[in-house]
Amino acid sequence: MADALVIETPRLRLRPFREDDLDELTRINSDPEAARFLNYGKAMSRAESWRQIAVFLGHMQLRGYSMLAIEDRDTRSLLGRSGPWSPEGWPMLEVGWLVAAERRGQGIATEAGRASIEWCFANLGVVEVCSLIRPDNVASARVAQKLGARRDRQLGEFFGSPADLWIHTPRA
């Protein structure tokens, strides 16, 4: 992957997932609090996390961008995931985020989300990007608000339960 998509911020490096991320991604995906809002409300197993990495890499191959691993630039530790995402069946290009439980509340989701959204506007020729957030995911909705998004509408059923469609537009 010589031309791999990498997005950097002062603290973070967003880069394609690798197979050696599996243990840490499994730990992040198995957190019960995060699982409430993802994967039909169930924690992901190691095998499901491996398949998730494969899906992210396949999306990158097909679309040229994908959900990326959030890595601490200093320690190189995996902190979560964020990035542009538009698989078949999605209402539009999305930027999402998931941060390891022990690193929540440190602005990582906001920093990674902002960098991902700005990358979309600069590189994909879009004028809107969405974030799909479960209505009871208050922390994620706060991140969307910090990023200047507005709640557009609720999708009645989206992979197991309702999701709010938040719209991001370029900053003036």
* Position 1 confidence tier, pLDDT thresholds 50, 70, 90: very low
CATH placement of domain 7-126: 3.40.630.30
Average pLDDT over residues 2-29: 93
pLDDT digits (tens, 9 = 90+) for 97-114: 999 999 999 999 999 999
Average pLDDT over residues 27-50: 88
Backbone φ and ψ for 29, nearest 5 degrees, come out as: -70, -20
Q: How many Cα atoms occupy the beta-carbon half-sphere of 166 within 13 Å?
A: 23
Supply the pTM of this predicted model: 0.94
pLDDT digits (tens, 9 = 90+) for 65-86: 999 999 999 999 999 999 999 9
CA distance 111 to 131: 15
Ranges of each domain in the chain: 7-126
